[in-house]
Structure 1
Amino acid sequence: MRSPNRALSLLRCYGPLVLGASILSFGLYNVHSPSGITEGGVLGMTLLLHHWFGISPSISGFLMDVSCYLLAFRFLGTSFARYALVASCSFAVSYAFYERFPPLLPDLSGHPLTAAVVGGLFVGLGVGLVVRRGGASGGDDALALVISHLTRIPISRAYLSTDLTVLALSLSYLPLSKIACSLVTVTISSYVIGKVHTYGEQAKSEPA
């Protein structure tokens, strides 16, 4: 039987990863998907595949994340593999759970700017919690790290290149006005991720 301290340690270790992934999938299912607001990177690609082929993000997201993680394992090693696996599985399971119910939030498809802001907040908070714990929020992180490692470009440019590529592909099913809103949500989510991550680093640096 595991001691209470052991259980608490596991909760502190993996709880933020599960919570962050659940918040992320909640925002994608309840805001991004109904409103047509897309993201860059793997997140945006899951929405694109869902639109054109009806593939659930719980499946496509998991498969793309695994592919990116394998690349990262090949070039970067295994230091982040455990946390990344927990976050990816948590996203897939929570999104599949949300799909069993209709969206819980009001339909914001008629208010794309509002959807972009709200969606960006959900994505930023969810991803930020995962990053704050030291894990990978998804295949985006692994892919950007691999690109930066192989090309020696800054990690920020690696993220930007994947985001812009997916947003450009998303023009195949989204009007330019919604792509503009997607740029808004990407900007907001990036800002929130940075704030949550900084708060985590500050908390860790405080004396016990």
Structure 2
Amino acid sequence: MNFKWTRETIRTWLMMALGAALYAFGIEYFILPNLLMEGGVTGITVLLQYAANLPPSITTIVINLPLFVIGWRKLGRESMIYTIGGTLMLSLFLWIWEQLIERGWLVPFKTSQDFILVVLYAGVTLGAGLGLVFRSGGTTGGVDIIARIVHRWRGWSMGQIILAMDIVILGSALLFIPKEKVLYTLVSVFISSRVIDFIQEGAYAAKAFNILCKEPEKLASIITKELERGVTLLPAIGAYSGTNRMMVYCVVSRFEIRKLKSLVRQHDRQAFIVIADVHDVLGEGFRDE
């Protein structure tokens, strides 16, 4: 992968940094002071904070390091570079907010009564942070890496893998925090997911790409290999030229929108792309019913 610091690349990394800062702020300012939870590997780091007083800024790196190595080998360098970057930024900003709170320069929002207000602000903050990270093409590592590897190995839906792991993590939280806090966490997670969708692409779960380009068969092969998404080649006829062509049709999740745009542009800068909103998607890689 030849990495070039173009204006677009710099903007991408700045957006990822802002998202990681917001997400880390939500964890340190809202979640931890009120004994709430979070899903994914971040949820594991929060549990370790409650159980052993281990700072999330450290455990985030420790837990993700072996996943980075496995992901680099199994998923490839190109697909991991932004994931590693997003995770390192998250750990850095967690450390920054920890230091500000320890020194008394930032007073976390802690309440013993109005938890609805806490989960509302936590959900919006976490969702906005993750939405910016996802929109820039990155992730915060952890569960995403595991889900992609298991999906390749066993063919299971990534959504189902992530959901199952979140259930296990949130269930484990019952050993350390009251069940009421876990229920409040579910409200925060729901709000967060809605905000992520809104920031990513206007609250839709997926997008359908219709692409006219040079060598459509080659592009279809690239998409299949890089995104592991099904691709359909549809015959098309230019009304003006009368030329017979093939159109590439592909539906992707919200996490893959930017990646697919990038793949198309790398393949053919002059490609004609029509992106349509998809309200519901059933089938492999999406919902089963």
* 1:140-168 alpha-carbon deviations (Å, 9 max, x no partner): 22122223222322111111011101001
SS in 1 for 2:99: coil
**Match in the other structure for 1:3:** none
Deviation at 1:51, TM superposition (A): 1.0
SS in 1 for 2:165: helix
**Match in the other structure for 1:73:** 72
Instruction: Label 1:186 to 1:105 Cα distance change in 2 as closer, same or farther (>3 A).
Output: same
Equivalent residue for 2:188, pick from 185, 190, 193: 185
d(CA) in 2 for partners of 1:189, 1:196: 11
C-alpha RMSD of matched pairs (Å): 2.3
**Match in the other structure for 1:21:** 20
Listed as ranges, the matches of 1:1-208 within 5 Å are 8-102=7-101, 103-199=106-202
d(CA) in 1 for partners of 2:180, 2:191: 17
Structure 2 gaps, min length 5: 203-253, 262-272, 275-289
* 1:84-131 alpha-carbon deviations (Å, 9 max, x no partner): 122111111111111122244532343223222211111111111111
Structure 1 gaps, min length 5: 1-5
Alpha-carbon contact 2:28-2:98 (below 8 Å) kept: yes
Q: Which moved more, 1:34-43 or 1:140-149?
A: 140-149
d(CA) in 2 for partners of 1:79, 1:10: 14
Alpha-carbon contact 2:33-2:109 (below 8 Å) kept: no
Alpha-carbon contact 2:33-2:108 (below 8 Å) kept: no
SS in 1 for 2:137: coil
Deviation at 1:57, TM superposition (A): 0.3
Structure having the higher helix fraction is 1
Scaled by the length of structure 1, the TM-score of the pair is 0.86
Q: Which moved more, 1:146-155 or 1:24-33?
A: 146-155
d(CA) in 2 for partners of 1:109, 1:148: 41
d(CA) in 1 for partners of 2:176, 2:87: 26
* 1:10-55 alpha-carbon deviations (Å, 9 max, x no partner): 4213111111111110000000000111011111111100111111
Alpha-carbon contact 1:37-1:115 (below 8 Å) kept: no
Determine which structure has greater relative contact order: mean sequence separation of CA pairs < 8 Å that are 6+ residues apart, divided by chain length: 1
Instruction: Label 1:113 to 1:67 Cα distance change in 2 as closer, same or farther (>3 A).
Output: farther
Alpha-carbon contact 1:62-1:89 (below 8 Å) kept: yes
Aligned-partner residue type, residue 196 of structure 1: I
d(CA) in 2 for partners of 1:153, 1:190: 22
d(CA) in 2 for partners of 1:24, 1:178: 19
SS in 2 for 1:32: helix
Aligned-partner residue type, residue 195 of structure 1: F
Identity %: 26
Aligned-partner residue type, residue 66 of structure 1: L
Aligned-partner residue type, residue 177 of structure 2: L
**Match in the other structure for 2:230:** none
Alpha-carbon contact 1:125-1:193 (below 8 Å) kept: yes
Q: Which moved more, 1:55-64 or 1:8-17?
A: 8-17
Aligned-partner residue type, residue 176 of structure 1: K
**Higher gyration radius (CA):** 2
d(CA) in 1 for partners of 2:137, 2:170: 27
d(CA) in 2 for partners of 1:57, 1:101: 14
Scaled by the length of structure 2, the TM-score of the pair is 0.64
d(CA) in 2 for partners of 1:16, 1:135: 10
Aligned length: 201
d(CA) in 2 for partners of 1:152, 1:30: 38
Deviation at 1:9, TM superposition (A): 4.0
Alpha-carbon contact 1:31-1:108 (below 8 Å) kept: no
Alpha-carbon contact 1:38-1:44 (below 8 Å) kept: yes
